[in-house]
């Protein structure tokens, strides 16, 4: 008999909690959600961490009007995998994507930086931060 009373009390409490407005519980759900989000106190939205789309990325230099449209650079190619990892012809490593900049932090491409031009396109940055001519494009999902 005690189990039945406990069950009825639990059901009644759950029904009351579902029917009463959030403020009557001493909490404002919308302000709690907003407070749990990261606040932009001086940091730009472009500083958010992200990941590249998984798959094979081909890198190339621009060609000329009299010949090929682009010149593939196979040694710069890589494959993006899970957990911010990559595999290149020279080995594997890890990258970090912050906003619109990708930095390879470990492995054979360590310290190479790229600017994100689109979800499938990267442009390599020179050591001084200027854009180089090398463009990398995701050509397949890697399946």
What is the structure's pLDDT at 28? 47
Residue 38 makes CB contacts below 8 A (sequence gap 6+) with none
For the stretch 96-114, pLDDT in tens is 999 999 999 999 999 999 9
Q: Which residues does the chain have with pLDDT short of 70?
A: 1, 4-46, 142-143
Q: 55: how many CB neighbours lie within 10 A of its CB? A: 15
Return d(Cα 122, Cα 133) in angstroms, integer.
11
Using DSSP's 3-state secondary structure scheme, residue 6 falls into helix
* Predicted TM-score (pTM) above 0.75: no
| Residue 83, both tokens | 């957990």
The whole-angstrom separation of Cα 80 and Cα 53 is 7
Q: Report the alpha-carbon distance of residue 77 to residue 136 in Å, rounded.
A: 8
Reading the block at residue 142, the tokens are 């890697």
**CA-CA distance, 50 to 35, in Å (whole number)?**
22
């Amino acid at each position: 008999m005690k189990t039945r009373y406990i069950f009825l009390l639990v059901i009644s409490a759950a029904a009351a909690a579902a029917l009463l407005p959030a403020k009557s519980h001493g909490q404002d759900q919308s302000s709690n959600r907003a407070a749990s989000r990261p606040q932009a106190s001086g940091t730009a939205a472009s500083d958010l961490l992200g990941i590249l789309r998984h798959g094979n990325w081909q890198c190339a230099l621009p060609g000329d009007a009299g010949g090929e449209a682009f010149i593939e650079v196979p040694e710069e190619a890589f494959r993006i995998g899970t957990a911010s990892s990559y595999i290149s012809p020279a080995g594997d490593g890890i990258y970090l994507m912050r906003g619109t900049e990708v930095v390879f932090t470990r492995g054979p491409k360590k310290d190479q930086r790229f600017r994100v031009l689109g979800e499938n396109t990267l442009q390599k940055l020179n050591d001084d931060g200027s854009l180089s001519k090398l463009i990398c494009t995701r050509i397949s999902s890697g399946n």
